[in-house]
Structure 1
Amino acid sequence: MRILLLTLLLWIAAPVYAFQVQPMVAELAPMGKQAQRNMRIVNIEDTPLTVEVSAKNLVINSQGEEQLTNNDSDFLILPMTAVIPPGQAQTIVVRYIGEPALVASKAYRIVIDQVALPNQAQSSVGMALSFRTLFNVAPEDAKADLAITDIRSDEKAWQVNISNSGNKYIRLIKTKWILQQGEEQRIVQGPALSAALQTSFIPPNSARVIGFTPPPGFKAETTKVRIEPLSH
């Protein structure tokens, strides 16, 4: 009985999705072949799936609050609505057709919403689902330029004020953090960094306060922190 109860609890707690989307993160060029990506939506349900695809402007303020507004002009999306049979996949073409002479990268959410038609069930979990992918359009040779302006500590984490004076976004999970406290040095990157960060995305020409859980023994007031991009 205990094993059965545990299994049921795990099943209830686990996320269940009616469909899968790839990619969830992508970078586009403002023109040319690299201005287009194909998205793949897979219906893993045993009933037909209807989805609508739309583009939204993504703005993030210094406190990490995300603001989305509809954008009907910067992308060509084909098809914008699709009915996907059970177990089948649909390719969605997403092409940037906005301003080609960008001076800094722009961030968007390409949103895939499940649409419940009158004669269709929503999903096996009884709700309409939505995926919000992250698409960035960046000019050639754009770069992020990060600087740490302040580090403060609360009971649970450091609050790291990071400015990005460059003309390209940065995803901090694609960096490494070098912590120096006296003679002790620690490099945090990869899964460890992903687990330590409360958020990761910093737009160009902006600043954000990033929550960071430091390794044991490191104190904000005595630690110097340097952020470097991962080498490819």
Structure 2
Amino acid sequence: MTQSGKVVFGQGLTRLLWIVLALATAFALAGAVRAYEVTPMRVFLQPDRGQNSATITINNIREEPLPVEIQVFRRVVAANGEQTFEPAEEEFITFPPQVQIAAGQSQAIRIQYVGTLGETAEAFVVQVTEVPVNKLEGTGIQFTYNFGVAVYVQPPRARARLAVSEASAAEGTLRFKVANSGNDYGFLTGQVLEYRVGAARVQVTPDELSTLVSNPIVPPGASREFAIPLAATPEAGTAAANGPVEVRLLRGES
């Protein structure tokens, strides 16, 4: 049935579609355990020190061959945390760019930065993508997986300088801005975040912060906006409406 060019499903069919999507997600999560492993997941390169290459290892833990291809993308992070990825094949040499890994075997992939680095760090993602293989047997549904290895290319004397500003609290949410005046990428993870709302003072540990912030990266020369739920304390809840708000990073703020 259509209305103004839009497809409209009946209630029963809509419920069926949700069930199918839920089952597909469950199978995908179950299959992910038997996908493959990539290490490391984060790489830092320093070309000025001769460190312009690294090795990524792909471990095929399946009982069948694993065909993969390697692609490189530039990582662009917006103020609200949204990310876009731009092709950057010319910045790196990857070897091999494609490979089929036998069951139970591992393959080393060498990546080498050949771009021209300026005065600030640059961020890339080396994407390891499983190449789908057509199969006639079974349901005809095939799940493939990919892994993104974060690669940061750092200039000489690279350093992130993070500072917090514009903190506010309302409706159970703490909002603040983090600016990075340095020439390297900064990370909220690995730091202790302390905030004060009125008379209440709360510390968020690095482990807690990593679960609250999905994308902790602050690019050099940029600022990010963050929002986390206020701790469930009577003092914080009462003071959130009219008390002063302060936020500090106990490590990494300059």
TM-score, normalised to structure 1, is 0.83
The aligned residue for residue 229 of structure 2 is 213
Residue 76 of structure 2: aligned partner: 59
Deviations 1:102-155 (A, max 9, x none): 30110001101100234699xxx8212111221111113211111222123353
Q: Please say if 1:42 is aligned against 2:54.
A: no
Q: Which moved more, 1:198-207 or 1:84-93?
A: 198-207
Matched, 1:160 2:182: no
Structure 2: which amino acid aligns with 1:211? A
Sequence identity (%): 25
Equivalent in 13, 30, 44 of residue 27 of structure 1:
44
- Equivalent pair of 2:161/2:181 in contact (CA under 8 Å): yes
Residue 112 of structure 1 is matched in structure 2 by 128
**Shift of residue 74 of structure 1?**
1.2
SS of residue paired to 1:37: strand
Does residue 86 in structure 1 map to residue 108 in structure 2? Answer: no
What residue number does 1:172 align with? Answer: 188
What is the DSSP-based 3-state SS (H/G/I as helix, E as strand, rest coil) of the residue aligned with 1:194?
A: helix
RMSD: 2.8
TM-score (norm 2): 0.76
Gaps of 5+ in 1: 1-7
SS in 2 for 1:229: coil
Give the deviation of 1:214 after TM superposition: 3.0
How many aligned positions are there?
Answer: 220
Structure 2: tracts of 5 or more residues without a match: 1-22
After the TM superposition, which segments of 4 or more aligned residues of structure 1 sit over 6 Å from their partners?
none
**Secondary structure of residue in 2 paired with 1:34:** coil
CA drift of 1:193 comes to 1.5
Q: Give yes or no for contact 1:196–1:214 (8 Å, CA) kept in 2.
A: no
Q: CA deviation at 1:31?
A: 4.0
Give the Cα separation in 2 of the matches to 1:216 and 1:175.
Answer: 21
Q: Aligned in 2, Cα 1:120/1:158: closer, same or farther, shift over 3 Å?
A: farther
- Per the alignment, do residues 176 and 224 of structure 1 end up closer, same or farther by CA in structure 2, a change over 3 Å counting? same
Q: Which moved more, 1:13-22 or 1:46-55?
A: 13-22
Equivalent residue number for residue 228 of structure 1: 250
Look up the equivalent residue of 1:194 and give its one-letter code: S
Change in CA separation of 1:13 and 1:75 when aligned onto 2, cut-off 3 Å: closer
1:68 alignment partner in structure 2: 85
Where is the helix percentage greater, Structure 1 or Structure 2? 2
Deviation at 1:182, TM superposition (A): 5.9
